[in-house]
Amino acid sequence: MPAAYYFLKKRLSWRDLEPSSLLGYYRYISLLVTSGFYLVGGPKAPFHLKAGAVVCLLLEARFFTRVYRDTEGARARRLLIFVETLGLASILVITGGLDSPFIWYAVNPILLSATVAPVYYCWLMMTAFLSAAMLLQRYSLYTPEEIISLWPDRSFFFMVFVLTTFAAQIFTHIIARLSDQAETMKKQLEHIKALYEAIEMLSHYSDPHEVANLFASYSRTITGADKVIVWVETQSGVKDPRKESFYVVKGPRGVLSEEDWYPHIKSMFENRRDCPEIHVQEVTGSKERQTGRLVTVRVKSSSKVFGVLSAYYSGTRPISEEKQTLTFMADLCAAVLEKRFLESLADELLLMEEKDRIAGEIHDNVTQNIFGLIYGLDTLIKKEHLDDRVRNQLRLMRKTAQRSLRELRTSIYSMSSAKNDKETLADEIEKYLSDLAQLNNVAVEFSSNGGLGSLTAQAKRHLYRIVREATGNAIRHGNCGSIKVSLATDGTECRLVIVDDGAGFDTALVEDRGQYGLGLVNMKELARNLGGDLNIESTPGRGTVVSCAIPFYDNTKALSAREKLIV
């Protein structure tokens, strides 16, 4: 027995989840158990004959297991199972007939037949075995029976075989489901790994052409598409309104040539605002004459549709999972392009803050020095007993200083956002809300009383992100029809209020359960980083109000809009 245990441990592995491999355990264990009962129990026969029968069955199990493992065709495997079934029915003749312990070992081919198609084959093998065993019972060496009593003497025997066959089918179905789930999980882990690598790579890219190239490559790798096309439109920057559209293609040249996909995808790109989220088009290559499907999804953020992402799959295989993956990749691509725009806006706000600082320093230092110089020259000119030639020279110097002061003041006014009434933050919020309203078919109102020049670049950036997050949540989760956004300052603080008429939610219940979403947590953290406070008031069915108050700090030297330089 120890030798048999180590043999089984060496030859079999629990890590192999193939049903045929797992059934190998039952084959050898059932052979050991039935052999033990056969050797110590009935029928009465010489021990050497019993031992010979056991050895023959052990060789049969070893031979059949190896041949079955090396046979790949389903038809050949069915034939092997049928031969073993009849062989085990025949060996009952010399081991006790229907009363032989080996009748329970004969269940093995029936169990194994449940792992091959068609489904009913295991029932055929059960019927074949029982029929052969009953027909051969009259030839049994020990208990021959001309007429076999099936009911009620052997009813338990038949019931066990029927239930065992049924259990084998359930077992096979469960193993198949587990195998499919394991394969799906393996693919998902590979996808997650590939997406992690893509996100890691995207952190080093800012050029939209490089981003589109990377997404096309990863989309083709992750989804297994034959060809992927990414067609997007991007803006050069916040201050540069020029837009550029381009497309990137990844895949063999011989698969779906450009003349086959270009008209369709161009039409989808030009009408991307009105096209469906996922569009599937059957196409036939003009060269390869092979029919396939072109799946197109929109590269869309909450406020803008950048373009489309299309993937071509030849043949007619199911692509439901690929659709979901493509949608995720398109959303990720939109997020990256949106991040690029936000970075451009952050750079512009930082540049404005630096310009305001420089303008303030020039106003406080250089202009005051020039003003003092002009005042001193004017005092000298008014003195009596001054030579006319010197007086004229002083007047010329005063005139030059006055002209320099005017030019410097003009430069300060053009540089300072507080002096030239330039509200980049308000303009960008208004532009974003306009795009949001058009894309999602909602009514949006925006109001601002100005005076945002005293805000730091970080405060402007955080307020812009809060507006985007709150309005996006109102549309995605609240299904609102209208949004009102107001941005006001009173000299001590900046107050942002966002009101929507969406579904709303129970804030008390959310707080008690601690079920704040990432969006709500993100908005609260953005306000907290600025030393402000963000409050959310909502009632189910009555919409939501998001209010944020950001205090002003005396850490800027921006000019007041009411200041005047008098010369």
pLDDT, position 18: 60
pLDDT, position 378: 80
Greatest CA separation for the chain:
157
Domain ranges of the chain: 2-178, 206-334, 345-415, 424-551
Q: What tokens does 69 get?
A: 């493992």
Query: What is the distance between the alpha carbons of residues 473 and 302, in angstroms, rounded to a whole number?
Result: 9
**How many Cα atoms occupy the beta-carbon half-sphere of 340 within 13 Å?**
23
pLDDT, position 452: 76
Q: Which residues contact 380 (CB under 8 A, 6 or more apart)?
A: 386, 394
Query: What is the distance between the alpha carbons of residues 414 and 26, in angstroms, rounded to a whole number?
Result: 88
Q: Burial letters for 414-433: b for 16+ Cβ neighbours within 10 Å, e otherwise?
A: ebbbbbeeebbbbebbbebb
- In 205-346, the DSSP E strands lie at 227-235, 243-250, 278-284, 291-300, 305-314
Query: What is the distance between the alpha carbons of residues 103 and 209, in angstroms, rounded to a whole number?
Result: 71
Which mean pLDDT values do the consecutive 10-residue runs of the chain (567 residues) have? 54 53 81 89 81 90 87 87 90 84 88 84 90 83 64 74 88 83 79 69 71 85 88 71 82 84 88 85 77 89 86 84 85 82 74 74 76 80 78 83 79 64 74 86 88 78 88 87 90 89 83 69 86 88 90 51 36
Same fold, 206-334 and 424-551: no
pLDDT, position 512: 66
Strand partners, 282: 293
Rounded to the nearest 5°, which phi and psi values hold at 124?
-65, -40
Give the three-class secondary structure for 255: coil
Give the CATH number of domain 206-334; options: 3.40.50.880, 3.40.50.150, 3.40.50.1820, 3.30.450.40: 3.30.450.40
Q: Which residues contact 389 (CB under 8 A, 6 or more apart)?
A: none
Give the model confidence (pLDDT) of 201-254 as tens digits. Answer: 666 666 788 888 888 888 888 888 889 999 998 876 555 566 778 899 998 888
Amino acid at site 223: T
Q: What tokens does 336 get?
A: 């990256």
Contact 55, 38 (CB under 8 A): no
**How many Cα atoms occupy the beta-carbon half-sphere of 403 within 13 Å?**
6
Query: What is the distance between the alpha carbons of residues 469 and 464, in angstroms, rounded to a whole number?
Result: 9
Q: What tokens does 129 get?
A: 């075995």
Query: What is the distance between the alpha carbons of residues 329 and 325, in angstroms, rounded to a whole number?
Result: 6
Amino acid at site 117: A
Contact 182, 17 (CB under 8 A): yes
Q: Burial letters for 132-166: b for 16+ Cβ neighbours within 10 Å, e otherwise?
A: bbbebbeebeeeeeeeeeeeeeeeeeeeebeebbe
Nearest Cα neighbor of 446 from 474, 416, 487, 394 is 487
pTM of the predicted model, to two decimals? 0.56
Task: Write the CATH number of the domain with boundaries 424-551.
Answer: 3.30.565.10
DSSP 173-224: HHHHHHHHHHHHHHHHHHHHHHHHHHHHHHTT---HHHHHHHHHHHHHHHHT
Amino acid at site 401: A
Q: Would you say the C-alpha torsion 77, 79, 83, 88 has a positive or negative sign?
A: positive
pLDDT, position 554: 47
Contact 299, 246 (CB under 8 A): no
Nearest Cα neighbor of 420 from 563, 270, 208 is 563
Using left for φ > 0, alpha for ψ between -120 and 50, and beta otherwise, residue 170 falls in alpha
Query: What is the distance between the alpha carbons of residues 10 and 74, in angstroms, rounded to a whole number?
Result: 27
* H helices present in 485-540, as ranges: 507-513, 518-529
pLDDT, position 445: 92
Query: What is the distance between the alpha carbons of residues 438 and 467, in angstroms, rounded to a whole number?
Result: 17
Nearest Cα neighbor of 235 from 101, 146, 347, 337 is 337
pLDDT, position 66: 87
Contact 208, 342 (CB under 8 A): no
